[in-house]
Structure 1
Amino acid sequence: MNSAACLLLSGLVATALLGCAPPRQPIPPEAQVETPPGWRDEVARPAPVSAYWWRQFGDSQLTALVDAALANNTDVLIAASRVEQAREQIRLSRASLLPNLDAVFGAQRTRELSVLGLTHTTAFQPGVQVSYEIDLWGRLRRLRDAAELQYQASEAERDTLRLAIASTTAQGYVSLLSLDDQLRVTHETLESRAEALRVAEDRAALGYTSELELSQAQSEYEATAQLVPQLEQAIREQENALSLLTGRLPGDIRRGAALFTLEAPPAPGALPATLLRRRPDIRQAELLLAASDLNLQAQRDRYLPQVQLSASLGRLFVDSLDYDPVRVWDLGASVLAPIFDAGRLEAGVNLATAQRNQAAFAYRAAALQAFREVEDSLSAVDNLAQQRERVDARREVLERSLTYAQDRYRGGYSSYLETLDAQRNLFNTELAAVQLRESQLNALIRLYQVLGGGWQSAGADQPD
């Protein structure tokens, strides 16, 4: 039989065997992603986002913390190791496309009875063996391509984690500045309460006020004083959390700008259609879907015959190394075609199909989550700005109200309850103003994160 006939026969066998494979299932229509035409609220004009967006806040200490976290955070280092693991997996998949070359050495000592009596034979056989699987149907190439896609997905996963670490560190620093301001406001209020308590004690000693008003002044002073150690403990814990993020032992965290002097860069904008290319987590889900699809094709290829080539070459030394060795060699080929496997191949295809479908649904989930996060962040940035305007206006009114109440109390025209209410309302409003500023900055940081933080899919570098 000539070579053309052999190829024709192999093709017919392959076609027959592939016909036994389960039909290839398409990606479920429920996994499709519909991009919204626009956001619910009007956004800023789309513009490139700096990859180092945290530097736009104008605080050198914030920049130093984020840079340290990206360099030393343990989760980032673990993600980098996973990238290296995926890189080596590519080398393994590429190696399967090349022949295997092994050195062998055999030795044998025999004692047997022959017509000449007892004989002893010593044999040594060094040589080399070569084996190679011909990738006729592209199964091994698909596995190699899938490994390369998984490598790129691991890079996208690392970038997602780096973006999350940068955002978490920036938000943690803003929260630390907020706690500092809350402690400052509490100390200022405590001084004011101490002055009010002194006035109440003087008036009670002269008989101008009741013991009830004095006890109320004492109670408010102690309630405010109680907040000081609570805030100090919160500051200590926040510093320790930031130290952990930067890969350091617990310790003090240096501050740069204050909360209200921290520069807030303009809110970034992006179109929904571009969001799918701006986020590394979506890129990761897309690559994993493509890799799972290649694995499914490779699993179907197992229904096709596998062609193996083998060869060996060596020397045979018998009884003495001084004798002229005999050259020995062999060449071989084998075709392995599945006939009965108790359903293992079909189960493998069905398993790969289910894994592909899971990857498709995971991509859809990542896209929907991205759209939701951007909508939430855009709304939060706008609404928090409006809330802050109202709180600032209310704080100005309460400052005037406290002044009026204190004047009336000192003049004997009102009870201490009016002053107490004014102090309490102003204190709570000042704390609310600090917390709203914190929420406003953190919402802006969150918006940079959910828009991809300046990350752009430029294609993964191919490993050597």
Structure 2
Amino acid sequence: MRAGRSCILLLPVLLAACAMAPQPAPESTLQVPGAWRSAAPGSSVVERDWWKTFGDPQLDALVRRALDNNGELRIARARLQEYGARQRIAASAQQPALNLSFAPARARAIGPLGQPVEVTSIVGAVQAAYEVDLSGRVASTVDAARFEALSQEAALDAAALSVAANTASGYLNLLGLDAQLALARATLASRERSLALARHQFEVGYSSRLEMSQAEAELHATAGVVPQLERAIAQQEQALNVLVGASPGPVARGAALLALRVPAPAPGLPSALLRRRPDIAQAERAVAASDASLAAARDQLLPSIRLTASLGLEGASVARLLRSPVQLWSVGGSVLAPLFDAGRLRAQAEIAGTVRDRAIYTYENVVRGAFAETENALAGIDGLRRQLLEAEARRTAAKEVLRVAHNRYANGYASYLEELDAQRNAFSADNTVLQLRASLLGAHVDLYRALGGGWTPAP
């Protein structure tokens, strides 16, 4: 009795000797802005299926195919299943372990009288073991596994957001290239008519060979744009096929570029971004997982208590084992405390502390990057919208210049050089409008990506 009391009195001393001083987290340097620098119009919420706001059913179908069949998302889903199994493995340590054993044996030994004795024994037993989690190490390990699984779930959402945004951007770029190709072909037909007119003017003596040669050179310059755009379209189609997990081939189109709706997502407050972006949720859960791993590593320095029990039957044969067996049982416990390991456990706890600190720094970097991406997207939308207005005004003026220059040349009041210059300016103005329109739509995709795309992770 006195020895038992001594052990109880010595247990707090042993725990204090094994304990390690807490490792405080580094002070945060993250500052969340109160508002965005660039204000964006629009009051609609960020929907999960945000790509539907462009008004193209083909885009919706393409994104859905990508979310179902993308190879990277399949890898992320498999990884999530792996971490779910890891979580179940960690949680199993909180339950007692039961084992069933059956051990038949036959042996020859020297008996008390020096004669050989052959013995047959058959033992069947049920063994149970349970670790008493006084220090909380097992619970911390379970928490770490749970947060790691939640981090992988957020990683899957982040990958899905990236795939959806890349698919939408690629499709919008494809529509932009289609519009530019249609413009190039229409311009090529106009250049052919101009060359025919210049050749006629030369043949009747109203113009020189120089003007006809200029018209021919401009025709070939425009014709060279067509295969360039066709090659870019083919490459963009293959990139989309990779995203949706399809074989190389054409990609079906829906609405034309100029028929797409320009969405108006509301960015909300910067603090709301911390709840919407899955990559921020992933980094936050990684911090929680590393903090729980640190607690488990520190608890490795504390004694562990393990209870065991065994109940079995023994007989010299199967018949005796079933009719009149000998009962065997044992109950016990053990306390294992580290005394000397050359600092290995403390070093492991220090490593876990640095991992936790790195996770915190990574979280802060992810949040800062999210703020920067949102600001860039908002500024891009504002700048591209104003650029597009000016480009459309320039296109209107360039078409009027081309109309006047063509009439002057056709009636002999101006040289072909004047009309040629007007044709180049008109083609450039039209092409600029199409490029800016596609860029503006792409900037909205970037904003949806920066805002988290409607993925709101569970707390």
CA–CA distance in structure 2, aligned partners of residues 211 and 26 of structure 1: 85
CA–CA distance in structure 1, aligned partners of residues 65 and 455 of structure 2: 19
Determine whether 1:292 maps to 2:290.
yes
CA–CA distance in structure 2, aligned partners of residues 70 and 335 of structure 1: 52
Gaps of 5+ in 2: none
CA-CA distance at 1:238 after TM superposition: 1.7
Determine whether 1:92 maps to 2:89.
yes
Determine whether 1:346 maps to 2:337.
no
The answer to which of 317-326 and 136-145 deviates more is: 317-326
Q: 1:196 aligns with which of 194, 197, 217?
A: 194
CA–CA distance in structure 1, aligned partners of residues 383 and 8 of structure 2: 71
Q: 2:272 aligns with which of 257, 261, 274?
A: 274
Q: Tell me if structure 2 keeps the 8 A contact 1:44–1:269.
A: no
CA-CA distance at 1:281 after TM superposition: 0.8
CA–CA distance in structure 2, aligned partners of residues 320 and 218 of structure 1: 105
SS at match of 2:162: helix
* 1:260–1:7 Cα change, 3 Å: farther
Q: Tell me if structure 1 keeps the 8 A contact 2:46–2:265.
A: no
CA-CA distance at 1:308 after TM superposition: 1.2
CA–CA distance in structure 1, aligned partners of residues 376 and 279 of structure 2: 18
SS at match of 1:96: helix
SS at match of 2:94: coil
Determine whether 1:248 maps to 2:281.
no
Q: 1:74 aligns with which of 68, 71, 74?
A: 71
The aligned runs of 1:47-446 (5 Å cut-off) are 48-114=45-111, 115-318=113-316, 321-322=319-320, 324-446=324-446
Match of 1:42 in 2: 39
Write out per-residue CA displacement over residues 432-461 of structure 1, whole angstroms, 9 at most, x where no aligned residue. Answer: 1111000000101111121111222333xx
Gaps of 5+ in 1: 460-464
Q: Tell me if structure 1 keeps the 8 A contact 2:42–2:264.
A: no
CA–CA distance in structure 2, aligned partners of residues 236 and 422 of structure 1: 31
CA-CA distance at 1:6 after TM superposition: 4.6
CA-CA distance at 1:390 after TM superposition: 0.5
Q: Tell me if structure 1 keeps the 8 A contact 2:104–2:122.
A: yes
Q: Tell me if structure 2 keeps the 8 A contact 1:153–1:288.
A: yes
SS at match of 2:233: helix
The answer to which of 305-314 and 209-218 deviates more is: 209-218
Write out per-residue CA displacement over residues 158-207 of structure 1, whole angstroms, 9 at most, x where no aligned residue. Answer: 11111111111111111111111001100110011101111121222233
CA-CA distance at 1:289 after TM superposition: 0.3
CA–CA distance in structure 2, aligned partners of residues 198 and 379 of structure 1: 47
The answer to which of 311-320 and 195-204 deviates more is: 311-320
Q: Tell me if structure 2 keeps the 8 A contact 1:47–1:270.
A: no
CA–CA distance in structure 1, aligned partners of residues 222 and 42 of structure 2: 46
CA-CA distance at 1:364 after TM superposition: 0.3
The answer to which of 192-201 and 434-443 deviates more is: 192-201
CA–CA distance in structure 2, aligned partners of residues 320 and 148 of structure 1: 47
Q: Tell me if structure 2 keeps the 8 A contact 1:409–1:416.
A: yes
CA-CA distance at 1:319 after TM superposition: 6.6
SS at match of 1:296: helix
Q: Percent identity?
A: 42
* 1:66–1:320 Cα change, 3 Å: closer
SS at match of 1:390: helix
* 1:166–1:175 Cα change, 3 Å: same
CA–CA distance in structure 2, aligned partners of residues 176 and 162 of structure 1: 21
The letter for the 2-side match of 1:192 is S
Write out per-residue CA displacement over residues 33-75 of structure 1, whole angstroms, 9 at most, x where no aligned residue. Answer: 1101211123347653211111122111111111221122122
CA–CA distance in structure 1, aligned partners of residues 285 and 33 of structure 2: 22
CA–CA distance in structure 2, aligned partners of residues 58 and 80 of structure 1: 29
Q: Tell me if structure 2 keeps the 8 A contact 1:47–1:269.
A: no
Write out per-residue CA displacement over residues 401-433 of structure 1, whole angstroms, 9 at most, x where no aligned residue. Answer: 112222222233332221111111111121111
Write out per-residue CA displacement over residues 338-365 of structure 1, whole angstroms, 9 at most, x where no aligned residue. Answer: 1111121111011101110110011001
Write out per-residue CA displacement over residues 266-313 of structure 1, whole angstroms, 9 at most, x where no aligned residue. Answer: 232211121111111111111110110011011000110011111222
CA–CA distance in structure 2, aligned partners of residues 436 and 8 of structure 1: 79
CA–CA distance in structure 2, aligned partners of residues 222 and 48 of structure 1: 49
TM-score (norm 2): 0.95
* 1:183–1:43 Cα change, 3 Å: closer
CA–CA distance in structure 2, aligned partners of residues 352 and 47 of structure 1: 44
* Number of corresponding residues: 455
Q: Tell me if structure 1 keeps the 8 A contact 2:304–2:337.
A: yes
The letter for the 2-side match of 1:250 is P
The answer to which of 158-167 and 188-197 deviates more is: 158-167
CA–CA distance in structure 1, aligned partners of residues 235 and 302 of structure 2: 62
Q: Tell me if structure 2 keeps the 8 A contact 1:45–1:270.
A: no
Match of 1:462 in 2: none
TM-score (norm 1): 0.94
